[in-house]
């Protein structure tokens, strides 16, 4: 069934909380992304060495996890035309608006709000298969339905319609978020990999540390690595 009004309010509240706190927790720096909340890199990924595991477990604070992606300066809603991910559930399934892409948009008079782009089969966005890799397809396709209620738009609105009204609004960040473990039996754990944002592909591959690559990346606070092993340990554990 479709998400009801209470679910919408809950999802909006949690989304705002996640947006405010995405930098808290075990964050990992990489080329254009960082992990937040209950998130870590795991191996293997899907056709790659590494995936990001993002989890919402009611017994493990902060009860949400995700990946925050840097976006190029000048990106607008009209310019965001490709958004997809490979994903696999290892516990629970999709539900209550999670997992989702959360597109941070600067509005003219109401601060930063989110366009929510849900994983899973519409219109319920539930019953995602467990234990197998799936692909979202392009969730920024013109006919794909998105939740633009925070901007004043519709709950199930074609993305092309959202672009037509809000196309000049700046996009300042994009996250993929899991935060509804309480709604799917207590634990919701998803692996995500090969995330596409326009022309950028994020594979979470720790091989970037090898062959002197560790000299070209930093921790989330900007501090350098001592050596290749230090770099690999950080990207695997956050320590």
Q: Is the pTM of this model over 0.85?
A: no
135 pLDDT band, cuts 50/70/90, is very high
Q: According to the model, what pLDDT value does residue 48 have?
A: 82
* Percentage, residues of the chain above pLDDT 90: 58
Q: According to the model, what pLDDT value does residue 92 have?
A: 94
Provide the 10 A C-beta neighbour count for residue 238.
17
Mean pLDDT of 183-194: 92
Average pLDDT, the chain: 84
Q: According to the model, what pLDDT value does residue 194 have?
A: 94
What is the tens place of the pLDDT at every residue in 189-204?
A: 999 999 999 998 888 8
Which residues, including other chains, have CB under 8 Å from residue 194's CB and lie 6 or more apart?
A: 45, 46, 47, 48, 85, 86, 201, 202, 203
34 pLDDT band, cuts 50/70/90, is confident
Q: Taking 60 as the threshold, does the pLDDT of residue 14 lie above it?
A: no
* From 66-75, 125-134, 204-213, the region with the lowest mean pLDDT: 204-213
Which CATH entry fits the domain spanning 5-204: 3.30.230, 3.10.450, 2.60.120, 3.30.530? 2.60.120
How is the chain split into domains, by residue range? 5-204, 205-239
Name the more confident of 5 and 50.
50
What is the tens place of the pLDDT at every residue in 70-113?
A: 899 999 999 999 999 999 999 999 999 999 999 999 999 999 99
Q: According to the model, what pLDDT value does residue 222 have?
A: 65
For 2-15, b/e burial (b = at least 16 CB within 10 A) is ebeeebbebbbebb
Whether residue 26 contacts residue 48, with contact meaning beta carbons closer than 8 Å, is answered with no
Q: Which residues does residue 65 pair with via DSSP β-bridges, in sequence order?
A: 37, 178
């Amino acid at each position: 069934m479709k998400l009801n009004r209470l679910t919408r309010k809950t999802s909006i509240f949690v989304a705002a909380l996640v947006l405010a706190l995405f930098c808290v927790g075990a964050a990992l720096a990489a080329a254009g992304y960082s992990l937040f909340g209950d998130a870590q890199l795991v191996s293997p990924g899907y056709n790659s060495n590494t995936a990001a595991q993002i989890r919402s477990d009611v017994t493990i604070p902060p009860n949400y996890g995700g990946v925050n992606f840097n976006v190029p300066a000048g990106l607008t809603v009209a310019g965001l035309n490709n958004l997809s991910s490979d994903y696999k559930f290892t516990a629970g399934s999709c539900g209550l608006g999670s997992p989702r892409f959360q597109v941070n948009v600067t509005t003219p008079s109401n601060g930063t709000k989110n366009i929510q782009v849900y994983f899973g089969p519409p219109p319920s966005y539930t019953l995602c298969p467990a234990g197998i890799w799936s692909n979202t397809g392009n969730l920024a396709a013109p006919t794909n339905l998105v939740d633009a209620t925070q901007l004043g738009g519709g709950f199930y609105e074609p993305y092309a319609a959202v672009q037509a009204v809000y196309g000049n609004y700046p996009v300042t960040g994009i996250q993929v978020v899991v935060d509804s473990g309480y709604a799917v039996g207590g634990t919701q754990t998803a692996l995500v990999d090969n995330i596409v944002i326009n022309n950028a592909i994020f594979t979470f591959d720790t091989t970037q540390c090898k062959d002197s690559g560790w000299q070209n990346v930093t921790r989330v606070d900007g501090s350098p690595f001592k050596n290749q092993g230090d770099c690999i340990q950080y990207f695997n554990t956050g320590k």
